[in-house]
Amino acid sequence: MLGVFLDRDSLDCGDLDFSGLDRILPDLRYYPATTPDQVAARIAEADVVISNKVVLDATALHGAPRLRLICVAATGLNNIDLAVAKSRGVTVCNCRGYGTAAVVQHVFALLLALVTGLPDYRRAVREGHWQRASQFCLLDFPIRELAGKTLGIIGHGELGRGVARVAEAFGMRVLIAQRPGAVEEQEGRIPLPLLLPQVDVLSLHCPLTLETRGLIGAWELALMRRDAILINTARGGLVDEALLADALRQGALGGAGVDVLSLEPPVAGNPLLASDIPNLIVTPHCAWGSRESRQRLVGQLAENIAGFLNGALVRVVG
């Protein structure tokens, strides 16, 4: 079987072991990256296609008559036309849970940096303010404790549950939002309009769907406390970025830490990249990127292909 990996460099920094994948699919061709105009030629004869972010739309899928399996090197499936894949009898598998430890760690890296004023204090030392201080310490920026604060979580899957466990270890109270778009009330979950005014921190962990796009907009931001902190390590499209930037400038929100933007990379700019936004930390979609996380992902790709070949499918979508 011929396999093609369309964008290996999207997860490999030269530090990963692909031998397990190569043993299962010896005829696997690796491409560092694939542009839209290269997709058709590269998958035309393939039986198995691995893609992280390369789009496999209807045109691409119809141009690959031998295609039997698509392995997404991620959890999100926005880049795959699932309806066409299903109509063509193409199995689609994704990867799940590989980055939980890394993402949970990043959530609290962002949150702790914001509540401790870490970027401000680091800058103060670099600029010599501590060296010129009249006392032994510098307390120019507010420091807040997480203990006793309330964390709201939207998206209570594996990532949301992982964040909740760490939050409880910090002594935080955890509230879980009702699933966006849910018709019936869910036990143990709180409708978003009731949850938002209660939280000191809101952390997003839901997928980007029709129901969740623009989930945090003007109305939702207005419901949040003025000193609340928003953390988004899920998808940029969940938040109205221009309104978030304005809320931070106006002091209508206490801070934000985001690892995702609506367009990545932000080649056309983004409202959250402006230099005048206070109490904002933006990182470049790297929350998932520990070496351990990326190696687990490669292992899951191998398991998905082996399961397909052996007739014991795992992580099938739909």
pLDDT block averages, 10 residues each, the chain of length 318 = 97 97 97 98 98 97 97 93 97 96 98 97 97 96 98 96 98 94 81 97 93 96 98 97 98 98 96 97 98 98 97 93
Neighbours of 42 (CB within 10 A): 19
The residue whose two tokens read 């204090």 is 121
Report the pLDDT value the prediction gives residue 217, as an integer from 0 to 100: 97
The residue whose two tokens read 């109509």 is 87
Q: For residue 178, give the DSSP letter.
A: P
Report the pLDDT value the prediction gives residue 66, as an integer from 0 to 100: 97
For residues 110 and 216, give the distance between their C-alpha atoms in angstroms, rounded to a whole number.
19
pTM value is 0.93
The token pair at 27 is 């005829």
3-state helix, strand, coil in the chain (%, to 5): 35, 15, 50
Report the pLDDT value the prediction gives residue 318, as an integer from 0 to 100: 78
Report the pLDDT value the prediction gives residue 182, as an integer from 0 to 100: 75
Give the CB-side neighbour count of residue 311, counting CA atoms within 13 A: 0
- Burial category of 61 from C-beta neighbours within 10 Å (exposed 0-12, middle 13-18, buried 19 and up): buried
Task: List domains and CATH numbers for the chain.
Answer: 3-98+291-310 (3.40.50.720), 100-282 (3.40.50.720)
As annotated, the active-site residues are 235, 264, 285
Closest CA to 279 of 260, 261, 257, 252: 257
The residue whose two tokens read 């063509």 is 88
Report the pLDDT value the prediction gives residue 240, as an integer from 0 to 100: 98
For residues 297 and 102, give the distance between their C-alpha atoms in angstroms, rounded to a whole number.
12
- Burial category of 88 from C-beta neighbours within 10 Å (exposed 0-12, middle 13-18, buried 19 and up): middle
Closest CA to 117 of 226, 32, 125: 125
